[in-house]
């Protein structure tokens, strides 16, 4: 007896996925899940969050942007459904019939479309609010880093002026760093050294050229 043929997978089948960052369950098709994952990865890479709070805000922005895309798709589908229905405007030129159908869709579904627009507006405001919060956190983080780099560079110069050796592990205590500081001490040391080399390079490039000695 031949083995029973397996039924092809229904393309509309849904799967449950647990989000890696939020822990929430998403019930979507595999195709939509793949598109959502790609969307979120692109947004997070663009926003470049650091730390739990920034990452959480970036993920919220990605989710809201995904909802905005879905709202636009729903609106387009509403008008497409209006074009696909039989009506009394047959015999007209296609572009005129389409225009009539869109107007009728607005008259019949205008309330739903307006609610959808309100939904989009509220999401957009949330995106803007979260974007501002994320920018503020990132600016605070960068300012804290610049302060730490400046302090380490100054302490290094002071030690060198006294003929001493500055040891960041010994002479730059972690307690002096701001709370919730996300950068490691090796990063600060590396950036401070880069800053000093850059300052020396700028000083050397701005110095007047040496006069060439005249040939005898």
Please report, rounded to a whole number, the percentage of residues in the chain having pLDDT higher than 90.
26
Q: Does 21 score more than 70 pLDDT?
A: no
Report the pLDDT value the prediction gives residue 130, as an integer from 0 to 100.
97
pTM (2 decimals)?
0.68
Could you list the beta-strand ranges (E) of the chain. Answer: 15-18, 25-28
Instruction: Provide the CA 12 distance to its chain's centre, in angstroms.
Output: 30
Q: How confident is the model at residue 132 (pLDDT cuts 50, 70, 90)?
A: very high
Backbone angles phi, psi at 60, to 5 degrees: -65, -40
Residue 124 makes CB contacts below 8 A (sequence gap 6+) with 64, 68
- pLDDT at residue 147 is higher than 80: yes
119 Cβ contact partners less than 8 Å away, ≥ 6 residues apart: 71
Taking only the tens place, the pLDDT of each residue in 40-90 is 999 999 999 988 999 999 999 999 999 999 999 888 888 887 776 655 555
As a whole number, mean pLDDT of residues 156-167 equals 84
Do 185 and 169 form a contact (C-beta atoms < 8 A)?
yes
Q: What is the DSSP letter of 49?
A: -
Over range 6-16, report the average pLDDT: 57
Angle (CA) 192-198-204 rounded to 5° is 140
Give the integer Cα–Cα distance in Å for 138 and 122: 24
């Amino acid at each position: 007896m031949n083995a029973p043929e397996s039924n092809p997978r229904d393309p509309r089948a849904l799967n449950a996925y647990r989000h890696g960052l939020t822990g929430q369950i998403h019930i979507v098709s595999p195709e939509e899940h793949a598109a959502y994952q790609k969307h979120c990865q692109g947004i997070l890479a663009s926003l470049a969050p650091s730390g739990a709070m920034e990452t959480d805000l970036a993920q919220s922005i990605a989710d809201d942007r995904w909802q905005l895309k879905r709202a636009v798709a729903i609106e387009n589908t509403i008008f497409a459904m209006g074009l696909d229905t039989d009506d009394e405007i047959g015999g007209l030129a296609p572009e005129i019939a389409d225009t009539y159908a869109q107007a009728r869709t607005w008259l019949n579904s205008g309330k739903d479309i307006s609610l959808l627009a309100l939904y989009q507006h509220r999401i957009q405001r949330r995106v803007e609010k979260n974007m501002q919060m994320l920018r503020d956190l990132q600016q605070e983080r960068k300012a804290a880093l610049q302060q730490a780099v400046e302090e380490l560079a100054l302490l290094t110069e002071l030690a060198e002026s006294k003929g001493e050796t500055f040891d960041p592990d010994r002479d730059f205590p972690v307690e002096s760093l701001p709370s919730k500081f996300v950068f490691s001490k090796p990063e600060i040391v590396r950036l401070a050294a880069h800053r000093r080399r850059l300052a020396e390079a700028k000083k050397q490039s701005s110095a007047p050229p040496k006069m060439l000695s005249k040939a005898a």
